[in-house]
């Protein structure tokens, strides 16, 4: 068969972006303002234009639908069930990122009526197969927390061991023994001591920063 004989499916890019707010793991969702699934919550994303790369499309859709820019995106997985989109044959390439949301102001576009951070514990019914994408991304996120230093992207440049532990407890939704956790983190030799934090009324903790040029794969847990 010739190339022209094959029907051409459409391609979308969907983005899963996590943050931590008020001691809760949250994901960025948008409420759709168009059919299908009008007024349903969904992951930000949209169709890839013919002249775009997948990553450029993901960044454009994220900027247009939420106002979020300058975010590192990592390709997550490809979802291609034949009937995942009621409009026709649509394959989506999902991306994932973890960001500090403090300095981000969300802004919805004409395609969405609302954009906001939603707690993982309280995810509403999602459009398309976005719940499946979200579930898969959460497993990948926890894997990355176990074997890479990605969690440190949520911390300020200088941080305490307690701050690191708090982030891990939020993402894994469980408590870690403080002594064992600190011992393991310090044994990895990825932190640099930055001196005592004297601006606290209690026993001042040691401040740390992440060393430069560390390995991409680090067995954190």
What residues are annotated to the active site? 114
What's the sign of the alpha-carbon dihedral 133, 139, 141, 143? negative
SS (H, E, C) the chain: CCHHHCCCCEEEEEEEEEEEECCEEEEEEEEECCCCCCCCEECCEEECCCCCCHHHHHHHHHHHHHCCCCCCCEEEEEECCCCCCCCCCEEEEEEEEECCCCCCCCCCCCCEEEEEEEEHHHCCCECCCHHHHHHHHHHHHHHHHHHCCHHHHHCCCCECHHHHHHHHHHHHCCCCCHHHHHHHHHHCCCEEEEEECCCCCCCCCEEEEECCCCCCCCCCC
């Amino acid at each position: 068969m010739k190339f022209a004989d094959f029907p051409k499916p459409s391609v979308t890019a969907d983005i899963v972006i996590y943050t931590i707010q008020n001691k809760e793991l949250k994901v960025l969702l948008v409420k759709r303002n168009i059919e299908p699934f009008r007024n349903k919550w969904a992951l930000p994303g949209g169709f890839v234009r013919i002249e775009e790369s997948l990553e450029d499309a993901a960044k454009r859709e994220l900027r247009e639908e939420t106002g979020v820019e300058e975010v590192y995106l990592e390709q997550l997985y490809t979802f291609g069930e034949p009937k995942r989109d009621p409009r026709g044959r649509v394959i989506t390439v999902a991306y994932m990122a973890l960001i500090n949301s403090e300095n981000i102001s969300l802004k919805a576009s004409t395609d969405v009526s609302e954009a906001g951070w939603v707690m993982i514990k309280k995810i509403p019914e999602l459009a398309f197969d976005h719940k499946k994408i979200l579930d898969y991304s959460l497993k990948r996120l926890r894997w990355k927390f176990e074997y890479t230093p990605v969690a440190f992207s949520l911390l300020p440049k200088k941080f305490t061991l307690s701050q690191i532990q708090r982030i891990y407890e939020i993402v894994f939704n469980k408590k870690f023994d403080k002594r064992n956790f600190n011992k393991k983190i310090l044994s990895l030799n990825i932190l640099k001591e930055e001196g005592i934090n004297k601006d606290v009324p209690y026993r001042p903790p040691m401040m740390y920063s992440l060393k430069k040029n560390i390995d991409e794969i680090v067995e954190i847990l």
